[in-house]
């Protein structure tokens, strides 16, 4: 099904309804579908009540067309109805039809157990109406010229995917027919057509001989199946009838003008008069089943109306569009057929429901828009819809429970239900009195069959057995002279004279053999199923369904977040906002985010859940802004939110979440405030995310050895890294919620390790921090820290010397929380100050992991100059910890790539605390030699903006966009394939991994491929086995795995001959097998 207006742009969509109280409710349903995207936002949607007297489908069509034309005329500025508005109009008229006993809101809004689509923007039910809109919009009506489509909503159409209609040169009327068996057609209508497809006649409930005349080439007969198209010229003729007596009696204008009502059938009047085999006399005087009789008291009016129809419409042709292999399923009054339809035609066991014990629902059971608490067993072939039930209870095979509230659970649980029983709760309105009434029938009962018939039954048993068991007399159910069908039997107690409303236990429960007595049943005011349907309050029914939908939705959200499932919640959030349920949803998310409140729980996985929750709240706020209010990304440091942030930073999760909610209440009044609040919730989520990642601190093991002499330099150098596959899967929260795998290689650039650091103890008790750009001999920036306050901005990435300051804090060189001054700490612990230098020959934003590798080098230099011992695993986790303190975020693959030599794979399990495990690969020696000869680096001249990319990726992951989840799975799989390619020495397979990795990076962060880089990669494609931008993309270095060795000159030639590339440069690559390297002291 489509979210883009069904694929067809309707000018007007009109839904007709039988009851006055349905107009508002059904109108809201149409508008909700327009907001959800299943109807075009530009369409005019209208709900029109039929005249109170039965008009028939033809009369309802004429009235609906008049209303549509009237609205279009008004919109065009006319003061009277004009047919000119039909010139370019595509009008759809849908008839909701008569009451349906198995769905309180007509067949149109009968829910179906259709699965949710992965691409669905707004979570919404699929009803018969929705299926029909989709079939019409995407298959049937596509390409049709201006005109009027008319269709009932009382059936389900299945159209083969390759079906299409040609509209070239079309005029007149077209009817759609689906195949059916001749036996089925005996109680239905069929079209008789000639060789050219023109309809000769329409036969309704015809004889076997008549039906067989309609047999098509496939042995089936063309059923009267619903969709009818009237071209522009015919539509104008239909519109004329509103001023043509007695046909004006079909319209509301006729009603207001005092015209008597007249019943007109769409098929047996409007279309029948166009059939080629009929004469005028036959059409006017023939007595047809299902139509007003041309004889009797109203006969003259009927004959006049038919004569006018013949005069107005005759001469137009009606053509048949037959759909071989299509399927037509009319929603009959058979309960058995309906239950089987829900269980057999659909495979979705759980439709928009929350089931506490999923294992209690058999594969063949169906639960639709319900909340099931505890042990509620639903057997194969059973259906529970629009119910809130609590176990223990069992729903046997063939049963249907519908519309039952939580308070009925105990009664249902005590009943020993047999198979094929239907129990329903209805919300009715009698005057101003709103009541709940319960009905029960057998699924095998024929509702319209007279109780005198031998096969008539109630609760799947003969009426005589029911009368004998209960003592009820037939005259207590039916008034003399009325029909004696089950549909009209006043079986169901509603009110007691002194006892108020009758619940399920005292009414239906007694009829099923439970508690109660005949006296109380007789005392009660009772209704028949037919009366219950006519008194049903559609607004209350739809409201009950909506309450259940959102309650189940909130519980599913809770389950998804607490169980860490990869379910995209955005459609649920959008639905809640459209339904005005955002308040309850936000409260639910607050509760989940606040956690269990157990002491110390915040140190574990609960922080990860809370962080995602805060991101979800940001999603809800943005949905509430409705596409207005500005960009999602932006600053998040407004003073009003600082108190909440402080509580979160201090580890008070529950207090912080509560403070956020309190502040949020002041930011809900305008779209711009909502978006700004969303930014601050994302900022709060980042606080918790950093705390979750900092759990990796437990894997840092630092010892104390001999402290080197004062003034002795401790120097380290590191290679850069090339990420071969799996990049982004190392990024929190992806890495600890899904699990990560990244394969990369350590490299020297232009023959040297490009990253380094050195440290020494100095006599003066201060910190002298020197950062070199452009290499060790390049421009230096010196920062001197004499007091602790000079280090306070260590967590602000853009502050002078921020990285070096963060290293001083995270390495334990000094303590910011100490009561002692900086100089005193340095003298007491280290006997003097520390001088710390860092450098890199790589440009900013290179994509080669510079900042993280540099952090590792700095930590190693500080540890060594202070006599502390460490291993590489500790350095890897220490960098991860440091980058959280520095608030730059990021993953772990950079430091793995630069600190561990050679080709290796880093992995992380889907759990907290976050632990990285590194496996060094041992490819064949000749592969390593060959790899080095085939690798080249090209500097693109573009600077990478990783922070913006990172924010978008984290947001998309938290939202669990299906495309994001699938891509992350493929990232990890590609990394493991890369491990196999390297281990087995296959350059060609490695090239494939590089290409896949780049495609996956682009899916992770759309926009990470600048136009000039795209041009560069296309130009180089003939020379390479694979290529990718290093790191997150967006700029920096492009690395190539060339088809032939030593391709530097060939690459330069191609690039020099490609215009528009800017300031690029080509660099050689050597594998570095050592990783971080300690140089001799100096």
Bridge partners, residue 720, by sequence = 747
Predicted local confidence at residue 359, as pLDDT? 94
1029 token code pair: 């931008």
List alpha helices for 294-359, DSSP H.
299-313, 335-344
Contact yes or no for 123/351 (Cβ under 8 A):
no
How many whole angstroms separate alpha carbon 376 and alpha carbon 1000?
44
Quick check: helix, strand or coil at residue 438? strand
How many whole angstroms separate alpha carbon 139 and alpha carbon 163?
7
> Count of CB atoms within 10 A of residue 932's CB?
16
502: left (phi over 0), alpha (psi -120 to 50) or beta: beta
Predicted local confidence at residue 432, as pLDDT? 87
Spatial CA neighbour of 644 closest among 609, 683, 618, 693? 683
945: confidence class by pLDDT, cuts 50, 70, 90: low
Instruction: Find tokens 């003259």 and name the residue.
Output: 300
Do the bridges between strand 400-402 and strand 383-385 make them parallel or antiparallel, or are there none, so unpaired? parallel
Q: What is the DSSP string of 39-53?
A: S-TTSEEEEEEPPSS
Class of residue 1060 by CB neighbours under 10 A (exposed 0-12, middle 13-18, buried 19+) = exposed
How many whole angstroms separate alpha carbon 874 and alpha carbon 869?
10
Q: Once rounded to an integer, what is the mean pLDDT over residues 206-222?
A: 93
Spatial CA neighbour of 144 closest among 169, 125, 120, 123? 169
611 token code pair: 């962080």
Tell me the average pLDDT of the chain: 93
Phi, psi of 481 (to 5 degrees): 95, -20
Res 3 pLDDT > 80: no
579 token code pair: 């339904």
976 token code pair: 């493991």
Do the bridges between strand 383-385 and strand 366-368 make them parallel or antiparallel, or are there none, so unpaired? parallel
Spatial CA neighbour of 386 closest among 399, 402, 398? 402
The 10s digit of each residue's pLDDT in 35-62 is 988 899 999 999 999 876 667 899 999 9
Give the Cα-Cα-Cα angle 452, 456, 460 (nearest 5 degrees): 145
For 815-865, what is the HEC assignment? CCCCCCCHHHHHHHHHCCEEEEEEEECCCCCCCCCHHHHHHHHHHHHHHHH
Class of residue 743 by CB neighbours under 10 A (exposed 0-12, middle 13-18, buried 19+) = buried
For residue 669, how many C-alpha atoms fall within 13 Å in the half-sphere facing its CB?
Answer: 3
1048: left (phi over 0), alpha (psi -120 to 50) or beta: alpha
Res 878 pLDDT > 70: yes
Instruction: Find tokens 């000749």 and name the residue.
Output: 926
Predicted local confidence at residue 599, as pLDDT? 44
Intra-chain end-to-end CA distance of the chain, in Å: 72
Contact yes or no for 609/564 (Cβ under 8 A):
yes
Q: What is the DSSP string of 785-814?
A: E-SGGGGGGGG-TTSTTHHHHHHHHHTTSS
How many whole angstroms separate alpha carbon 581 and alpha carbon 558?
15
Res 462 pLDDT > 90: yes
Phi, psi of 493 (to 5 degrees): -65, 140
The 10s digit of each residue's pLDDT in 511-568 is 999 888 999 999 999 999 999 999 999 999 999 999 999 999 999 999 999 999 999 9
> 392 preceded by cis ω (within 30°)?
yes
- Number of helices followed by number of strands (H, E) in the chain: 34, 45
What is the CA 646 to chain-centroid distance, rounded?
Answer: 34
Quick check: helix, strand or coil at residue 86? helix
CA dihedral 936→937→938→940, nearest 10 degrees, is 150
The 10s digit of each residue's pLDDT in 237-289 is 999 999 999 999 989 888 888 888 888 999 999 999 999 999 999 999 998 87
How many whole angstroms separate alpha carbon 526 and alpha carbon 518?
13
How many whole angstroms separate alpha carbon 864 and alpha carbon 493?
87
The beta-carbon contacts of 397-402 under 8 Å, at least 24 apart in sequence, are: 398/336, 398/339, 398/443, 399/339, 399/423, 399/443, 400/102, 400/335, 400/338, 400/339, 400/424, 400/443, 402/102, 402/103, 402/104
The 10s digit of each residue's pLDDT in 625-651 is 999 999 888 999 999 999 999 999 999
Instruction: Find tokens 């996985």 and name the residue.
Output: 605
**Rg of the chain over all Cα atoms, to the nearest angstrom:** 37
Contact yes or no for 47/30 (Cβ under 8 A):
yes
Report the length, in residues, of the chain: 1082
How many whole angstroms separate alpha carbon 579 and alpha carbon 675?
20
Contact yes or no for 335/458 (Cβ under 8 A):
no
Res 976 pLDDT > 70: yes
What is the CA 104 to chain-centroid distance, rounded?
Answer: 27
Q: What is the DSSP string of 679-737?
A: HHHHHHHHHHHHHHHGGGGGG---EE-PPPPTT--EEEEE-EEEEEE-TTTTSTTHHHH
> Largest Cα–Cα distance of the chain, in whole Å?
121
The beta-carbon contacts of 501-504 under 8 Å, at least 24 apart in sequence, are: 501/435, 501/436, 502/437, 502/438, 503/407, 503/408, 503/411, 503/438, 504/404, 504/408, 504/411, 504/412, 504/423, 504/425, 504/438
Do the bridges between strand 1077-1078 and strand 755-762 make them parallel or antiparallel, or are there none, so unpaired? unpaired
Phi, psi of 1045 (to 5 degrees): -75, 160
Res 2 pLDDT > 60: no
Helix (H) or strand (E) holding 200: strand 199-204
Predicted local confidence at residue 289, as pLDDT? 74
Spatial CA neighbour of 794 closest among 717, 883, 705, 713? 883
How many whole angstroms separate alpha carbon 563 and alpha carbon 774?
48
What is the CA 706 to chain-centroid distance, rounded?
Answer: 60
Instruction: Find tokens 């799989």 and name the residue.
Output: 973
């Amino acid at each position: 099904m489509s979210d883009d207006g069904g694929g067809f742009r309707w000018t007007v969509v009109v839904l007709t309804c039988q009851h006055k109280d349905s107009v508002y409710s059904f109108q809201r349903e149409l508008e909700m579908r327009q907001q959800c995207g299943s109807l075009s936002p530009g369409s005019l949607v209208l709900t029109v009540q039929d005249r109170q007297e039965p008009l028939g489908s033809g009369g309802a069509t004429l009235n609906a067309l008049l209303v549509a034309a009237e609205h279009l005329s008004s919109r065009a500025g006319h003061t009277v109805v004009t047919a000119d508005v039909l010139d370019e109009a595509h009008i759809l008229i849908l008839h909701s039809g008569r009451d349906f006993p198995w769905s309180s809101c007509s067949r149109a809004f009968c829910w179906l157990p259709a699965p949710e689509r992965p691409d669905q923007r707004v979570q919404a039910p699929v009803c018969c109406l929705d299926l029909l809109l989709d079939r019409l919009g995407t298959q049937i009506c596509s390409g049709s010229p201006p005109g009027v489509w008319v269709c009932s909503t009382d059936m389900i159409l299945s159209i083969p995917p390759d079906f299409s209609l040609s509209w070239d040169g079309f005029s007149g009327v077209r009817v759609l027919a689906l195949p059916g068996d001749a036996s089925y057609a005996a109680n239905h209508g069929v079209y008789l057509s000639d060789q050219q497809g023109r309809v000769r006649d329409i036969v309704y409930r015809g004889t076997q001989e008549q039906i067989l005349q309609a047999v098509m080439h496939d042995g089936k007969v063309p059923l009267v199946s619903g969709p009818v198209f009237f071209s522009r010229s015919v539509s104008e003729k239909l519109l004329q009838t509103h001023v043509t007596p007695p046909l004006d009696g079909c319209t509301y204008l006729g009603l207001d003008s005092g015209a008597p009502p007249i019943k007109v059938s769409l098929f047996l009047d409007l279309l029948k008069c166009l059939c080629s085999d009929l004469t005028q006399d036959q059409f006017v005087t023939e007595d047809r089943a299902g139509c007003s009789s041309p004889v009797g008291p109203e006969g003259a009016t009927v004959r006049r109306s038919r004569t006018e129809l013949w005069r107005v419409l005759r001469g137009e042709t009606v053509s048949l569009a037959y759909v071989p292999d299509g399927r037509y399923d009319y929603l009959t009054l058979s309960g058995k057929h309906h239950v089987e339809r829900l269980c057999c035609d659909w495979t979705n066991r759980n439709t928009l429901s929350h089931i506490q014990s999923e294992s209690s629902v058999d594969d063949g059971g169906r639960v639709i828009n319900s909340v099931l608490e505890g042990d509620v067993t639903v057997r194969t072939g059973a259906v529970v819809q629009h119910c809130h039930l609590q176990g223990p209870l069992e729903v046997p095979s063939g049963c249907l429970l519908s519309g039952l509230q939580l308070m009925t659970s105990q009664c249902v649980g005590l009943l020993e239900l047999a198979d094929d029983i239907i129990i329903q709760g209805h919300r009715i309105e009698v005057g101003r009195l709103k009541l709940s009434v319960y009905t029960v029938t057998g699924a095998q009962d024929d509702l319209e069959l007279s109780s005198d018939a031998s096969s008539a039954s109630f609760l799947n048993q003969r009426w005589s057995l029911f009368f004998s068991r209960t003592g009820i007399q037939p005259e207590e159910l039916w008034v003399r002279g009325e029909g004696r069908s089950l549909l009209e039997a006043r079986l169901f107690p509603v009110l007691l004279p002194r006892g108020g409303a009758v619940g399920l236990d005292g009414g239906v429960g007694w009829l099923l053999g439970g508690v109660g007595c005949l006296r109380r049943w007789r005392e009660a005011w009772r209704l028949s199923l037919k009366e219950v349907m006519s008194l049903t309050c559609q607004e209350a029914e739809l409201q009950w369904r909506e309450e259940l939908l959102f309650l189940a939705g909130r519980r599913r959200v809770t389950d998804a977040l607490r169980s860490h499932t990869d379910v995209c919640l955005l459609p649920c959030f959008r639905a809640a906002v459209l339904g005005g349920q955002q308040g309850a949803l936000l409260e639910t998310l607050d509760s989940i985010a606040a956690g269990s409140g157990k002491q110390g729980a915040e140190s574990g996985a609960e922080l990860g859940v809370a962080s995602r929750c805060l991101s979800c709240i940001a999603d809800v706020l943005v949905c509430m802004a409705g596409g207005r209010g500005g960009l999602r990304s932006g600053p998040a440091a407004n003073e009003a939110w600082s108190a909440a942030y402080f509580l979160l930073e201090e580890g008070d999760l529950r207090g912080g979440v509560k403070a956020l909610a309190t502040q949020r209440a002041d930011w809900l009044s305008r779209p711009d405030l909502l978006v700004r609040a969303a930014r601050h919730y994302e900022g709060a989520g980042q606080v918790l995310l950093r705390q979750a990642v900092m759990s990796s601190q437990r894997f840092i093991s630092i010892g104390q050895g001999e402290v080197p002499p004062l003034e002795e330099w401790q120097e380290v150098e590191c290679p850069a890294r090339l990420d071969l596959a799996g990049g982004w899967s190392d990024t929190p929260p992806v890495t600890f919620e899904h699990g990560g795998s990244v394969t990369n290689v350590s490299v020297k650039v232009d023959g040297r390790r490009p990253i380094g650091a050195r440290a020494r103890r100095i006599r003066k008790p201060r910190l002298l921090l020197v950062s070199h750009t452009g290499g060790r001999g390049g421009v230096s920036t010196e920062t001197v820290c004499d007091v602790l306050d000079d280090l306070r901005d260590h967590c602000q990435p853009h502050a002078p010397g921020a990285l070096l300051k963060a290293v001083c804090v995270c390495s334990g060189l000094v303590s910011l929380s100490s009561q002692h001054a900086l100089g005193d700490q340095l003298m007491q612990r280290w006997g003097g100050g520390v001088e710390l230098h860092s450098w890199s020959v790589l440009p900013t934003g290179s994509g080669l992991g510079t900042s993280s590798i540099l952090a590792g080098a700095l930590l190693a230099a500080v540890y060594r100059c202070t006599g502390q011992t460490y291993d590489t695993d500790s350095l890897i986790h220490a960098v991860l910890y440091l980058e959280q303190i520095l608030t730059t975020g990021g993953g772990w693959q950079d430091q793995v790539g630069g600190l561990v030599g050679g080709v290796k794979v880093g992995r992380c399990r889907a759990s907290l605390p976050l632990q990285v495990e590194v496996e060094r690969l041992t490819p064949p020696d000749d592969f390593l030699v060959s790899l080095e000869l085939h690798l080249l680096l090209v500097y693109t001249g573009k600077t990478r903006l990783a922070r913006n990319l990172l924010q978008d990726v984290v947001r998309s992951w938290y939202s669990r966009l299906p495309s994001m989840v699938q891509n992350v799975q493929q990232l990890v799989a590609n990394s493991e394939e890369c491990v196999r390619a390297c281990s087995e020495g296959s350059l060609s397979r490695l090239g494939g991994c590089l290409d896949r990795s780049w495609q996956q990076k682009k899916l992770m962060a759309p926009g990470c491929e600048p136009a000039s880089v795209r041009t560069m990669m296309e130009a180089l494609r003939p020379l390479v086995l694979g290529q990718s931008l290093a790191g997150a993309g967006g700029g920096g270095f492009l690395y190539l795995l060339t088809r032939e060795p030593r391709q530097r000159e060939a690459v330069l030639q191609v690039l020099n001959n490609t215009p528009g590339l800017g300031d690029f440069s080509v660099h050689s690559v050597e594998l570095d097998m050592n990783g971080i390297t300690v140089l001799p002291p100096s």
